[in-house]
């Protein structure tokens, strides 16, 4: 506390360090809220697994969830209250087999409003949905399993990048309803794609060949960079490897300064996008990630532009780890003790809430513990005095008044 008082005395923007410190402490106290505050609405048994979650980018009040039984549910998070007697129920739903015929692999809201979202599936399709009617607006047939897809958060174009069971990346154009072209360069299946949040035509991809490639989608030529985990070769060398296993997750920091990649070598790597170099930040033995046939979405977020980016990573062992992106420090480890793999975790901006979906079919809410100040001995004495006076008052209320 004294350090903050000193900062206030000497630093004009004294509120910023205090705000950032409070925020970090809040995130470090994330705990499982009432585990029954969100109703289970996906299918029974093994098909109940929640495979993907996504919160809208504009209001942060609506969430979609997808499951292994091919159903999709819409939730109104404004009604989410961990203290409520009744659990949160779905706002609307697309029942199993009424759209997709196989399990959902990925979900994304349209970046600029919540009137539309997209889903991909093991049924070889990417489908575009009208949120209001929960009806299909368009369907892209990819011809093979679609592991993940991505919208650009800033682009004037309407391209959806699709990572499917192929060594190429397909670009789907929402305006024309057709495919523009494919990006060819990987030598194995592509599992993860992510658009740069600062450069609308730059796309990152990763796959089973262990390479992380950067593309300018305006060009039909090969990737313009391939990242090297050892920092021994130039990023222009296309033979560089970013991981010693499959790359199944990619996410940019909101300011586009860094790219975060995850692989089946149980490593997370952070790449400096000014130089294309591995920052060599080590996260320790906190990552358990052996998913070869699924994409993983590390949740990378910042409360504002001044704060450090944090990572929420869903582990195979049923835990979620909260990591400092720039130091590798493990800030917290969230566990349900279900020992069921966590498939997806999302951060609700402005509410300091996280939600996760797992193989158990549960959607769980994680919130910071409320800070309670210890009561001092003087305050305790004052409280005892107030209670004693209250007892005397209550005892006299029912005594009839007599006059002599």
DSSP collapsed to 3 states, 29-93: CEEECCCCCECCCCCCHHHHCEEEEEECCCCCCEEEEEECCCCEEEEEHHHCCCCCCCCECCCEE
Radius of gyration for the chain, computed over Cα atoms and rounded to the nearest angstrom:
25
User: Which domain, by its residues, includes 143?
Assistant: 32-397
pLDDT at 40 over 90: no
Residue 239 lies in a domain: yes
Are 264 and 289 in contact, with CB atoms under 8 Å apart? yes
Tell me how many domains the chain contains.
Answer: 1
Residue that the structure tokens 């069971």 belong to: 165
pLDDT attached to residue 26: 82
Of 36-45, 192-201, 385-394, which one has max mean pLDDT? 192-201
Q: With bands split at pLDDT 50, 70 and 90, how would you rate the model's confidence at 231? A: very high
Q: Does residue 22 belong to any structural domain of this protein?
A: no
Average pLDDT score, the chain: 88
**Among residues of the chain, what percentage have pLDDT more than 70?**
85
Does any domain span residue 403? no
pLDDT by residue (tens digit) across 95-146?
Answer: 999 999 999 999 999 999 899 999 999 999 999 999 999 999 999 999 999 9
Residue 168 lies in a domain: yes
**Domain assignment of residue 152, yes or no:** yes
| CA distance to 139, 212, 246, 325, 387, per residue, from 191 (Å) | 20, 11, 8, 22, 64
50-107 pLDDT per residue, tens:
999 999 999 999 999 999 999 999 999 999 988 888 899 999 999 999 999 999 999 9
The CATH number for 158's domain is 2.130.10.10
Residues 6+ apart with CB under 8 A from 364: 32, 33, 35, 38, 336, 355, 356, 357, 358
Looking at the domain assignment, is residue 17 inside a domain?
no
Q: Is 375 contained in some domain?
A: yes
Compute the Cα dihedral for 5, 10, 11, 12 and give only its sign: positive
For residue range 321-331, what is the model confidence (pLDDT) as tens digits?
999 999 999 99
pTM (predicted TM-score)? 0.85
Higher pLDDT, 402 or 269: 269
What are phi and psi for residue 250, nearest 5 degrees? -140, 140
- Nearest partner of 77 among 56, 92, 63, judged by Cα: 63
- Burial of residue 46 (CB within 10 Å: 0-12, 13-18, 19+) is exposed
* 3 within domain boundaries: no
pLDDT, residue 83, reads 84
């Amino acid at each position: 506390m004294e350090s903050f008082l000193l900062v206030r005395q000497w630093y004009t923007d004294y509120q910023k360090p205090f705000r950032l410190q409070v925020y970090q402490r809040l995130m470090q106290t994330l705990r499982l809220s009432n585990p029954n505050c969100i109703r289970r609405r996906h299918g029974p048994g093994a098909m109940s697994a929640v495979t993907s979650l996504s919160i809208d980018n504009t209001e942060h009040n609506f969430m979609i969830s997808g499951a292994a039984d091919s159903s999709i549910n819409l939730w109104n998070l404004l009604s989410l209250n961990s203290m409520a007697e009744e659990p949160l129920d779905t706002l609307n739903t697309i029942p199993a087999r009424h759209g997709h015929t196989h399990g959902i692999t990925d979900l994304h809201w349209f970046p600029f409003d919540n009137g539309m979202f997209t889903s991909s599936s093991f049924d070889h399709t990417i489908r575009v949905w009208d949120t209001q009617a929960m009806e299909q607006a368009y369907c892209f047939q990819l011809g093979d399993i679609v592991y993940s897809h991505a919208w650009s958060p800033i682009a004037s174009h309407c391209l959806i990048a699709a990572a499917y069971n192929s060594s190429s990346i397909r670009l789907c154009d929402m305006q024309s309803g057709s495919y523009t072209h494919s990006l060819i360069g990987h030598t194995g299946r592509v599992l993860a794609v992510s658009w740069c949040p600062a450069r609308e035509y730059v796309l990152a991809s990763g796959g089973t060949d262990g390479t992380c490639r950067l593309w300018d989608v305006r060009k039909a030529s090969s990737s313009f960079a391939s990242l090297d985990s050892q920092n021994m070769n130039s990023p222009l060398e296309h033979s560089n490897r970013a991981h010693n296993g499959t790359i199944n997750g990619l996410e940019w920091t909101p300011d586009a300064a860094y790219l975060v990649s995850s692989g089946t070598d149980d490593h997370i790597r952070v790449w400096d996008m000014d130089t294309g170099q591995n920052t060599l930040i080590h996260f320790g033995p906190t990552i358990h990630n052996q998913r070869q046939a699924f994409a993983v979405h590390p949740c990378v977020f910042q409360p504002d532009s001044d704060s450090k980016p944090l990572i929420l990573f869903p582990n195979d062992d049923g835990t979620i780890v909260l990591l400092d992106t720039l130091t590798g420090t493990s800030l917290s480890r969230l566990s349900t003790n279900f020992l069921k793999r966590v498939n997806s975790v999302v951060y609700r901006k402005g509410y300091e809430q996280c939600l996760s979906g797992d193989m158990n079919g549960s959607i769980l809410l994680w919130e910071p513990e409320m800070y309670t100040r210890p009561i001092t001995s003087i305050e305790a004495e004052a409280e005892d005095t107030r209670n004693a006076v209250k007892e005397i008052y209550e005892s006299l209320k029912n005594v009839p008044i007599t006059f002599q």
